[in-house]
Amino acid sequence: MRHENESLSSDIPCARYFSADGYPGSGQGGASYAAPVPDATGQVHATRSQREGIFREMKLRARYEKPSERRAREAAEAVRRARKSEKKRIERDGF
């Protein structure tokens, strides 16, 4: 049995890392939150994944996409890419 003054947090090993409001911090309560600083490797990976469209592809694959919807989406993406490259070419070449 647990005594009245004995808290539940003593049973949870990671509870000392969280404050009373549920955020990581001093563990003493309050709203102090020290966000972890991302290391360079993680930041490079996230940037590369974003650039290559991995996050977007994962989101698309989360649900089934009918073949006709896929073809329409890919055609629309191709049109967007062509317009973007044409706009960049005009801006770069000046005509």
Number of domains in the chain: 2
pLDDT tens per residue, range 33-81: 555 666 788 888 888 888 888 888 899 999 999 999 999 999 999 999 9
Q: Let me know if residue 1 belongs to a domain.
A: no
Q: Is pLDDT above 90 for 82?
A: yes
What is the DSSP track for 67-95?
HHHHHHHHHHHHHHHHHHHHHHHHHHH--
Kindly report the pTM of this predicted structure: 0.47
Going by the DSSP 8-state scheme, the letter that residue 64 receives in this structure is: -
Determine the pLDDT at residue 11. 54
More confident residue, 2 or 37: 37
**Residue found under tokens 């991995």:** 54
Residue 19 and residue 49 in one domain: no
The DSSP string of 16-72 is: GGB-TTSSBS-SSSSS---PPPPPHHHHHHHHHHHHHTHHHHHHHTTS---HHHHHH
Q: Are both 46 and 11 inside the same structural domain?
A: no
Residues 88, 44: one domain? yes
55 in the same domain as 23: no
Domain identity same for 47 and 30: no
Domain carrying residue 67? 40-93
What's the pLDDT at 19? 53
Higher per-residue pLDDT: 59 or 3: 59
Both 20 and 61 in a single domain?
Answer: no
Both 49 and 79 in one domain: the answer is yes
Asked if 16 and 45 sit in the same domain, the reply is no
Together in a domain, 55 and 83:
yes
